[in-house]
Structure 1
């Protein structure tokens, strides 16, 4: 199996050639460190983001930047130990700084691969700021659970507002079983209580144990199949992005 191309393992005189071979593309995996119920380790999101990015890099030869393990998890409250969160403004600035450094090193196509749902807003803000600051930098935000319709359907099969559910549990059973507590899986099910709500409530007010969904339904076989879909569908998206150009050539700062 081909190994991924890891930014942290490359030297300063190797990276320019790595980037030139893939149109200046790089992948930034973004996860979280937060509670995932009584049956999953707190690193689930960043473990998934990293493993997915590494698999796609192996297929595409796009370099992978070091994974961001901390992000925006404010909605998980302080009810359960283990969550380490960044303020969304801090997270936005962090990603902007990482993206700026990557741009200075030659990155011109940056794929933000996000494996934690509530990172979407700060990452979108970072995308806006990066492309406004660097006219020759294209940024894509890809949420791992919605990279394709089949992947999205698998994630919401047991809960629309899912967390630590059958899909996530199955993925860890297949990819990182050390994060799974098999003796706690069967008792971890907790229903989705968000149907019909007007407001977005924190997890302490929607879940009894930090779970939303039915992890008891998870199997390693299903997790392996879901991960294969994620790798295949994200690889296809990245490959399309390697040759994409803006529909129009107009510069950002000059009116025409």
Structure 2
């Protein structure tokens, strides 16, 4: 009986430590976010990008020191031809050396949301307020040539943690480098710095891809935590 009580006490202490850890982590993140300010720099929309296009697109940055790493929010819409497919864009800061991981952004049909894409016009008010001098006009791509079951879409938020981007205005050059079994329909991009606006975060949560793709990190975290607790419990009750 005494061993069982000790085991229960040990399990409660472990749960308490985990709770305190995540509470402190949440508080530190909130404190850090309060010190930063949201800044949007540019918006771009690129319709019908093809592999032989020479125009490409750009996301302009004018990041400031002490406001975190600049980021670009991408939203890609495509039509699946058959089977599975993927698309890669070169999307990298201009004029500086970057990590290989920051050279491309990639989309795979297996992890993309199916059906009618979410309209990007939900950001019209946000961009008009943040970029009043840019005369932003959000347009929608022509989807009439595709069957609804062909359509795929996915959002992606990418941070560019390079000190050079904090010293002078720059841009992210975007070019289509590869696509297979996916017909590119549109690529939207919003560049910013500081806390991601709530409107964008909600859009990301809704359009990151399939249900499993959106919540896979939470699922993995819960499974790992449950396995760890079970392991501690088994060890403590020996």
TM normalised by structure 2 equals 0.25
Larger relative contact order (CA 8 Å, sep ≥ 6): 2
Q: Which has the higher helix share?
A: 1
TM-score of the pair, normalised by structure 1? 0.24
More strand by share: 2
